[in-house]
Amino acid sequence: MALQPTLRPFVLGNPAAPHTLDIFLDYVCPFSRKMTNNFNASVKPLIENGGKYDGKVKAIIRQQVQPWHGTSTYVHEVALAVARVSPEKFWEFHVALMNGQEDFFDIPSSNRTPTQTRVKLIELALPIVGEDKKEVLTDLLTHKTTPNGGTAVTDELKYTIKFSRQNSIHVSPTVLWDGLVANDISSSWGEKEWTAFLKSKVLI
């Protein structure tokens, strides 16, 4: 499926691979965290660095903003900012953000301002991307245009939201195989289930 060029860090595996897993995830969704960790252990090694399906299968991480969670916009913004300033560190930060998601759940974050939430997210990113990226990350996540103009990554956030809407994606996680929703794929899938699925789908 199509992908805006600025979101290239969201592709895992060879971008030219003929088969595609589109994985729609929300950073404050516990099932998305489970999907991420199982995928990281069971699938990512197979589609990169000479794995069995390297060059045959790629995965695209699709942001699935869930606005009933107050911080969902902010956590997705920081992932976009990290992808821009340190694309090679995107996946490492993606996993760290998923595993640190509880600090951004509704109740723990309820008394923070949006600016305070962004500061905490930047603090989460800095050990991964480096302290030298603090200024540029802060700049990307600061409102500085018109009073209602968003941040420097708002256009990319809009793209991800519009993409989900036009493809009728509603829940996280949702996984597509070659453009079609694969309802059988579960966040609980481990090595056994993923291995069987890929064996049945990748025939060449």
Q: What domains are there in the chain, each with its CATH number?
A: 5-201 (3.40.30.10)
Which positions ≥6 away from 164 have C-beta within 8 Å? 24, 62, 63, 64, 65
- pLDDT value for 51: 97
- pLDDT value for 1: 65
Instruction: Give me the residues of the chain with pLDDT under 70, please.
Output: 1
Q: Hey, which bits of 15-141 come out as E strands?
A: 19-25, 57-63
Angle at 200 between CA 195 and CA 202, to 5 degrees: 90
Q: Full-prediction pTM beyond 0.85?
A: yes
Start-to-end CA distance of the chain, whole Å, equals: 20
- pLDDT value for 52: 97
7 to 20, 43, 81, 107, 169: CA distances (angstroms): 15, 21, 10, 31, 19
- pLDDT value for 146: 87
What is the SS3 assignment for 118? helix
